[in-house]
Structure 1
Amino acid sequence: MSDVDEATALKGAALIRDEVTRLPDRPGVYRMIGEDGEVLYVGKARSLKKRVSQYAQGRVHAQRIALMVDLTRTMVFVTTRTETDALLLEINLIKQLKPRFNVLLRDDKSFPEIVIRRDHDAPQLRKHRGAHSINGDYFGPFASAWAVNRTLNTLQKAFLLRSCSDSVYESRTRPCMLHQIRRCAAPCTGLVSLEDYRGLVDQAEAFLRGKSRSVMGTMAAEMQAASEELEFERAARLRDRIRALASIAQEQQINPETLDEADVFALHAEGGQACVQVFFFRAGQNWGNRAYFPRVDKSDEDPEVMAAFLGQFYEDKPIPKLVLVNVEPADRDLLCEAFALKAGRKVEINRPQKGEKRQLVQHALTNSREALGRKMAESSAQTKLLAGVCEAFGLEGQPERIEVYDNSHIMGTNAVGGMIVAGPDGFQKSQYRKFNIKGTELTPGDDYGMMKEVLRRRFARMVKDEEAGEAAPRPDLVLIDGGGGQLAAALEVMADLGVDDIAVVGVAKGPDRDAGLERFFMPGKAPFMLEPKSPVLYYLQRLRDEAHRFAIGAHRTRRTMDMKKNPLDEIDGVGPGRKRALLHAFGSARGVSRASVDDLAKVEGVNQPLAQRIFDSFRKT
């Protein structure tokens, strides 16, 4: 047998021992790979040779590590210049590859922020997610959409900044409703000069940077001066603005006095599960909190879990100057060095022992314990429900992934299909998908045809990914909103695609659409009902209602976008500049539609042929 064949035949500890003979005594990252190329584990090391050799010794290995070693069929190594570089690469690979045996941050949605745009004469205040691609000042993160919406609402009341888009701003000829309810100063119509408006913008920026007392003091002085000058209406407006700012402090449960900017992390592990509660403090204000439930093993030590969580959490997020924790992470100094390299400044990770900072960490820990307790109770109940679903539909095993489909449209227009996903951890909203119905041959309102298109697109993609050797989520159970006809349409598509091994069930509403009288349709069985007060029936109703809610929401969004389309956008030769000029001249698209050719031709940039084309476009039969 050749050396190559011998190395190929090796596996587990024997393969690792063979790899160690060729490894350098340098920093780097290693990947342990199992059958079919599955990445089992990603790790970093100060010395690849010393670290990897520990796996081959067979001593003090936890059962999980022993299993990982036994499953290893090949290894991949990358050397780096420093251990810090190895740590950064390890974090990136873990988030990208999601190895089975690593601690994994599962819920990793981006956080909303507030941005004050600086690319317009009248800066706009708005919510933002994602990359900082807009020229402006960014403030965040906020823990939830609710937290950022609440703050935006308050800032509008206090500083009267516009939130409208540039196209709406340019087309306004009179103040909008937000001005009427005192949430915008209406710079669009000149009710406030651009210089005074920028003063309001500067006040808002100062407030978001933590200078709230200074801003409120200035406003209080202005209110007093207005009152002394008998300008009682202006004084009342300033009073309302001060109250709006004060409401932020009143609504927050914790308001630190000695902390300007920090993130607070508290880890609580129990029964092989873990919760990390994260609180955000910016500008001396509490900007909300969020609970995370990373994938861990009962053999994982808290310092290792905290280190892995922090590394993955900040892989694509801005890092504050101070990170407070209840458990000191493994390799704390190395993490600080890596974070400083990313942030371009010093970053501290501290476990406070006394004072206000310790109180903040303890508060986060209390929230972490409570959140994990609720999660474990929900998981237990969820397991029982899924076992009931398995029994009700005669499935071979408890479903890990349930997909539910529904369509939404009005007389066939703006048709959208929705797919929601549920499993042992509840609704998996990151897996939800919407399908804009594209079939040109469908009869408006053809629900069967719409369902066929949605399922064909969903499962054709799954089949294509599986044939390419890629990991593709495959459901254990598919629920269709509808009766025998919908079920037959679904089964036809599944059979055509060769995925008829997936259980499909139709859920039909009862007479008069009464909840509790649903009938269930399965191939080869007569329609049946579940016990009216069965917990499993309630669970299935929740799944169906969530799919219905999601499909309707997607339909409304699409319909709203269509309604917002301006007829001028469809006319050849009318770009943003001419569109703006026409709207200024006639007030709205309806005003343009009523104008004569001669009046249209008087608008700057519109010649006689274009005026005729605009006139004709509004009179097509």
Structure 2
Amino acid sequence: MTHAAHSDELLAQVAALPPLPGVYRYFDDAGTLLYVGKARNLKKRVTSYFTKQHGGTRIGHMVGKIARLETTVVRSEAEALLLENNLIKSLQPRYNILFRDDKSYPYLKITGVAAKDGTGDAPGQRYPRMAYYRGSTDKRHRYFGPYPGAWAVKETIQLLQKVFRLRTCEDTVFANRTRPCLLYQIKRCSAPCVNLISPEAYSVDVASAEALLRGETQELLAQLEARMLEHSQELAFEQAAEVRNQITALSRVLHQQAIETVSDKDVDILAVRVQGGRACVNLAMVRGGRHLGDRGYFPVHVEDAAGVYHAEEEATAAQGDEHNVAAQVLEAFIAQHYLGVPVPPTLILSEPVSPELVAALSQQTGVRITAVQQPREQRRAWLDMAQRGAELQLARLLAEEGSQQARTRALAEVLDLDVDHLDEITIECFDISHTAGEATQASCVVFHHHKMQNSEYRRYKIEGITPGDDYAAMRQVLTRRYSHVAEAQREAGGAEVGSRQQRLPDVVLVDGGKGQVSMAREVFTQLGLDVSRIVGVEKGEGRKVGLEELVFADGRSKIFLGRDSAALMLVAQIRDEAHRFAITGMRAARAKVRVGGGRLEEIPGVGPKRRARLLQRFGGVRGVQDASVQDLMSVEGISQTLAEEIYRALR
């Protein structure tokens, strides 16, 4: 790559960079972020991109696209590392290893924790509840975790129900019980709702459950044994028997759950596996000495980022060395993942990572973090399990992707698409759903890079048509979706430019035969778009699955793919997803119309508190609808005028 490929302004900016630590960002001429990097010496690092010959390598392709540079000088390498990965996670550049944001981790929450004497301002405080929780935490409750998945939380709740019989019911249910529920009958709850256990005794069980969650198993057993002996000495044999039963249940659970009595209470085990251009980081969690299971993460841009990485770090092994790529992937995961997730004091790793990364995490959290690369004994067993999990999950991913790529290739060959760029083939599929014309919804689902792209799905509320007119609904949704695409093409002189939403997909799939395809052709003709992109999926004889035919808007003959066709499997997968997405949206819209969901808070004078009182009194929106004016007036804060307004609004 020579200087001639870049503007004088950019090269002058590079030459003026200071020899200080910082973060740099490369952009192309369209303003798209290409890469985010960090450096001990900004001048030396960035200059190397523009003075060396990179040829046709991945880094060469990236450098050839650089049109603009931004830099941020920081005080230390640790600051540079944290800023770099904040930017990578939020901006998702093309040539960095990216771990997509996942849902937040779930926790086990013990709500409204009471004072040690069992006192509190409300039943929920006197008798705390344990619950599954996902979201931000606060100081009003106690949170244990995070857990790798919902199943791990629910399994732990069941464990605590067996041993300590803590309640799991909502406060509204708890406050209105007059007799014990089934959980009491099967010995999974001590029935605090009807005062079958005192607040003081219940608070002891809560404290014991928290001790188990913290991994204090031996201390807990010793405490229980001491309490049992104390009750026996006081001749309180019933209480002693209850504690004895808890000890028995806890011992059984400790044996069945293989809870380790080790010094490590909270540990994350991270194993990485790289193969076939893909990678898997398997994260296993140990909390309170208990192995909670594992969870796999699959980064994108591994090959592109590895090419840039090896060009930057010439002191490392040659490009393609999977050991070094694995270490790079692991460092990227640690840096990005722990930006928003609590870091345990010990990380057990399958690959060595830079001491600077560990130091930056310690600085960020204020907790001394230890990274162990050569574990022994129990830690070695945990790491071996995590490595085996990474291998299995990556093998499954590669098998699934191989199958999906074969389907994409088969459909591309049938439709005469470019088989040399299978990753870029984009399909958008539309479906219409309603119930006898009620709550008509259209769905648009998107497929590219060999998988469904949920984040790009769209729903359209169809209005202004004759109820049940699917053709008019299809006309409306296609016009709304592609009118701005046509406008963008006209402004670009017929070329396809801009984001994926502003470009016409390779295939526009409509769930229907000749009628729907004709309607789609009319829309595309009016908009000046390529009608050859339109493909309809027509039901076969008897509407049997596997007998579908493809119908084309440009006059081509129908194609029957055959029941075992890989191309038909992909078409069916996309069509079924469009149908699922449409029908779930339609049902939600229909339910909202029928039960008045969302209308209650739209009534002037009904704020969150009054709405909550109404729903609690009448058991839901339907109950509020059925209530008379006098019934509504019986709710605190509801005057006669407001009750009449609510009555009229919900009729």
The yes-or-no answer on 1:387 pairing with 2:415 is: no
Relative to structure 1, the CA distance from residue 349 to residue 507 in structure 2 (aligned partners, 3 Å threshold; closer, same or farther) is: same
Residue 426 of structure 1: aligned partner: 451
Structure-2 separation of matches of 1:616 and 1:263: 57
The yes-or-no answer on 1:287 pairing with 2:311 is: no
1:532 corresponds to which of 563, 567, 570: 563
Residue 304 of structure 1: aligned partner: 328
CA drift of 1:361 comes to 1.8
Deviations 1:576-617 (Å, cap 9, x if unpaired)? Answer: 666676778778888877877667666655555556667777
The yes-or-no answer on 1:438 pairing with 2:444 is: no
Q: Which amino acid aligns with 1:318?
A: P
Q: Which amino acid aligns with 2:334?
A: L
| Contact residue 220 and residue 238 of structure 1 kept, 8 A | no
Structure-2 separation of matches of 1:248 and 1:512: 58
Q: Which amino acid aligns with 1:82?
A: S
Relative to structure 1, the CA distance from residue 442 to residue 286 in structure 2 (aligned partners, 3 Å threshold; closer, same or farther) is: farther
Within a 5 Å distance, the mapping from 1:16-415 to structure 2 comes to 18-58=12-52, 63-106=57-100, 108-118=102-112, 121-122=123-124, 123-132=128-137, 135-155=140-160, 160-161=165-166, 163=168, 198-212=203-217, 250=256, 257-294=262-299, 295-297=301-303, 299=319, 301-302=324-325, 303-329=327-353, 332-397=354-419, 398=422, 400-413=425-438, 415=440
| Contact residue 26 and residue 46 of structure 1 kept, 8 A | yes
Indicate the SS of the match to 2:339: helix
Q: Which amino acid aligns with 1:137?
A: R
Structure-1 separation of matches of 2:228 and 2:610: 44
The yes-or-no answer on 1:542 pairing with 2:547 is: no
Relative to structure 1, the CA distance from residue 44 to residue 215 in structure 2 (aligned partners, 3 Å threshold; closer, same or farther) is: same
| Contact residue 462 and residue 472 of structure 1 kept, 8 A | no
| Contact residue 408 and residue 415 of structure 1 kept, 8 A | yes
Relative to structure 1, the CA distance from residue 424 to residue 590 in structure 2 (aligned partners, 3 Å threshold; closer, same or farther) is: closer
Q: Which amino acid aligns with 2:142?
A: D
CA drift of 1:24 comes to 0.9
Structure-1 separation of matches of 2:607 and 2:179: 23
CA drift of 1:402 comes to 3.1
Structure-1 separation of matches of 2:173 and 2:416: 56
2:500 corresponds to which of 466, 472, 478: 472
Residue 6 of structure 1: aligned partner: none
| Contact residue 434 and residue 551 of structure 1 kept, 8 A | no
CA drift of 1:372 comes to 2.3
CA drift of 1:43 comes to 0.9
Residue 116 of structure 2: aligned partner: none
| Contact residue 224 and residue 243 of structure 2 kept, 8 A | no
Structure-2 separation of matches of 1:390 and 1:60: 34
TM-score of the two chains, using structure 1 as the length reference: 0.80
Structure-2 separation of matches of 1:284 and 1:497: 64
CA drift of 1:209 comes to 2.3
Structure-1 separation of matches of 2:446 and 2:461: 23
| Contact residue 349 and residue 373 of structure 2 kept, 8 A | yes
Relative to structure 1, the CA distance from residue 172 to residue 273 in structure 2 (aligned partners, 3 Å threshold; closer, same or farther) is: same
Indicate the SS of the match to 1:385: helix
CA drift of 1:138 comes to 2.6
Residue 119 of structure 2: aligned partner: none
Indicate the SS of the match to 1:316: coil
| Contact residue 271 and residue 383 of structure 2 kept, 8 A | yes
Structure-1 separation of matches of 2:552 and 2:261: 58
| Contact residue 49 and residue 63 of structure 2 kept, 8 A | yes
Structure-1 separation of matches of 2:29 and 2:112: 53
Relative to structure 1, the CA distance from residue 286 to residue 557 in structure 2 (aligned partners, 3 Å threshold; closer, same or farther) is: farther
CA drift of 1:23 comes to 1.4
| Contact residue 277 and residue 292 of structure 1 kept, 8 A | yes
Structure-1 separation of matches of 2:28 and 2:444: 32
CA drift of 1:58 comes to 1.9
Indicate the SS of the match to 1:315: coil
Indicate the SS of the match to 1:35: coil
Residue 3 of structure 1: aligned partner: none
Q: 305-314 or 121-130: which moved more? A: 121-130
Q: Which amino acid aligns with 2:572?
A: Q
State the Cα RMSD in Å: 4.5
TM-score of the two chains, using structure 2 as the length reference: 0.77
Structure-1 separation of matches of 2:608 and 2:101: 40
Q: Which amino acid aligns with 1:285?
A: R
In percent, how many aligned pairs have the same letter?
Answer: 37
Structure-2 separation of matches of 1:617 and 1:210: 55
CA drift of 1:363 comes to 2.1
Structure-2 separation of matches of 1:532 and 1:521: 17
| Alignment gaps of 5+ in structure 1 | 1-8
Relative to structure 1, the CA distance from residue 373 to residue 567 in structure 2 (aligned partners, 3 Å threshold; closer, same or farther) is: closer
The yes-or-no answer on 1:518 pairing with 2:574 is: no
Q: 356-365 or 597-606: which moved more? A: 597-606
Relative to structure 1, the CA distance from residue 480 to residue 179 in structure 2 (aligned partners, 3 Å threshold; closer, same or farther) is: farther
Structure-2 separation of matches of 1:177 and 1:48: 66
Q: 270-279 or 86-95: which moved more? A: 270-279
Q: Which amino acid aligns with 1:316?
A: G
Relative to structure 1, the CA distance from residue 566 to residue 90 in structure 2 (aligned partners, 3 Å threshold; closer, same or farther) is: closer
Relative to structure 1, the CA distance from residue 544 to residue 243 in structure 2 (aligned partners, 3 Å threshold; closer, same or farther) is: farther
Deviations 1:62-84 (Å, cap 9, x if unpaired)? Answer: 92223333332332221111111
Structure-2 separation of matches of 1:116 and 1:535: 50
Residue 309 of structure 2: aligned partner: none
